[in-house]
Structure 1
Amino acid sequence: MIKLLEPSQTERWDKFVLATSGGSFFHLAGWQQVIKQAFGHPTYYYYCERDGQITGILPLTHIKSPLFGNTLVSNAFCVYGGILASDDQSFTALKTQAQQLARDLRIDCLEMRNRVQAHPEWPHKELYVTFRKELDPDVEKNLNAIPRKQRAMVRAGIKGGLVSIIDDNVDRFYAAYSESVRNLGTPVFSKNYFRILKEVFGNRCEVLTVEHEGRLIASVMNFYFKDEVLPYYGGGVEAARDLKGNDFMYWEVMRRAVERGCKIFDYGRSKIGTGSFRFKKHWGFEPEPLFYEIDLVTAKQIPEINPLNPKYQLFIAAWKKLPLPVSQWIGPWLAKDLG
Structure 2
Amino acid sequence: MNTDIQARASRFNVFPATEYDQYVAGHSQATPYHSSAWLQATESAYGHTCWLITVHHNGSLCGVLPLVKVKSPIGAGSLVSLPFCDLGGVLADNAEIRERLIAEAKALARTNRIKIMETRESGAALETEQTTDALPAHTKVRMLCELPENSEALFKSYKPKLRSQIRKAQKNGLRAELLTEPDAVNLFYDVFSQNMRRLGSPVHSLQWFKDLKAAYGDHLLISVVFQGDKPVGAGIVLLGGKQACIPWASTLEEFNRLAPNMLLYWTLLSHVCDLGYTLFDFGRSTLGEGTYRFKKQWGAEPYRLVWTEYHSGEQNPTGLDTSGNGATRASRLRPVIENIWRRLPLPFANWLGPKLRRYITL
- In the TM superposition, residue 301 of structure 1 has moved relative to its aligned partner by 8.9
Unaligned stretches of 5+ residues in structure 1: 118-124
Mean Cα deviation higher: 235-244 or 18-27: 235-244
Residue equivalent to 2:345: 323
Q: Which residue of 2 aligns with 1:146?
A: 158
Deviation at 1:106, TM superposition (A): 3.5
- So what's the TM-score if we normalise by structure 1? 0.90
Q: 2:259 aligns with which of 244, 256, 281?
A: 244
Is the contact made by 2:195 and 2:251 (CA closer than 8 Å) also made in structure 1? Answer: yes
- Where does residue 7 of structure 2 map in the other structure? 2
Aligned to 2:308: 293
**Residues paired across the two proteins, number:** 332
The aligned amino acid for 2:200 is G
Of the three residues 216, 238, 254, the one matched with 1:223 is: 238
The Cα shift of 1:72 comes to: 1.4
Contact 2:307 2:318 in 1 (8 A): no
* SS of corresponding position for 1:290: strand
Question: 2: CA distance between counterparts of 1:68 and 1:140?
Answer: 53
Does the 8 Å CA contact 1:143/1:151 hold for their aligned counterparts? yes
Counterpart position of 2:128: none
Q: Is 2:201 the partner of 1:186?
A: yes
Task: Give the corresponding residue for 2:229.
Answer: 214
Match of 2:37 among 4, 23, 30: 30
CA contact (8 A) 1:106 1:298 kept: no
Determine which of 77, 83, 90 is the counterpart of 1:83: 90
**Change in CA separation of 1:177 and 1:105 when aligned onto 2, cut-off 3 Å:** same
- Deviation at residue 28 of structure 1 after TM alignment: 1.4
Larger mean CA deviation between 48-57 and 208-217 belongs to 208-217
Partners in 2 of 1:6 and 1:333 — Cα distance?
Answer: 24
5+ residue gaps, structure 2: 1-5, 125-136
2:331 to 291, 306, 309: 309
| In structure 2, C-alpha distance between the alignment counterparts of 1:184 and 1:67, rounded to whole Å | 27
Residue 285 of structure 1 and its aligned partner are, at CA, apart by 2.0
Aligned pairs for 1:9-24 (under 5 A) are 9-24=16-31
SS at match of 1:262: coil
Q: Secondary structure at the match of 1:291?
A: strand
Question: How far did 1:334 drift?
Answer: 0.6
User: CA offsets per residue over residues 228-267 of structure 1, 9 Å max, x none?
Assistant: 2212212122343021001110011011112222221111
CA distance, structure 2, for counterparts of residue 51 and residue 77 of structure 1? 34
- Does 2:55 match 1:48? yes
Q: How big is the shift at 1:108?
A: 4.1
Distance 1:260 1:225 in 2: 12
Match for 1:133: what amino acid? C
Shift of 1:298: 8.8
1:162 aligned residue: 174
Give the conservation status (yes or no) of the 8 Å contact 1:156–1:244: yes
Identity of aligned residues (%): 27
Report the CA distance shift for 1:323/1:151 in structure 2 as closer, same or farther (over 3 A): farther
- Provide the C-alpha distance between the structure 2 equivalents of 1:296 and 1:288, rounded to a whole number of angstroms: 25
Segments of 4+ in structure 1 off by > 6 A? 298-301, 303-308
Structure 2 residue aligned with 1:172: 187
**CA pair 317-126 structure 1, distance change in 2 beyond 3 A:** closer
RMSD: 2.6
Q: Deviations over 1:24-43 (max 9, x none)?
A: 11111222211111111122
- Cα distance per residue 1:164-214 (max 9 Å; x no partner): 212312111000011111111110011010000000111001111111222
Alignment-mate amino acid for residue 155 of structure 1? R
Q: Does structure 2 conserve the Cα–Cα contact (< 8 Å) formed by 1:68 and 1:338?
A: no
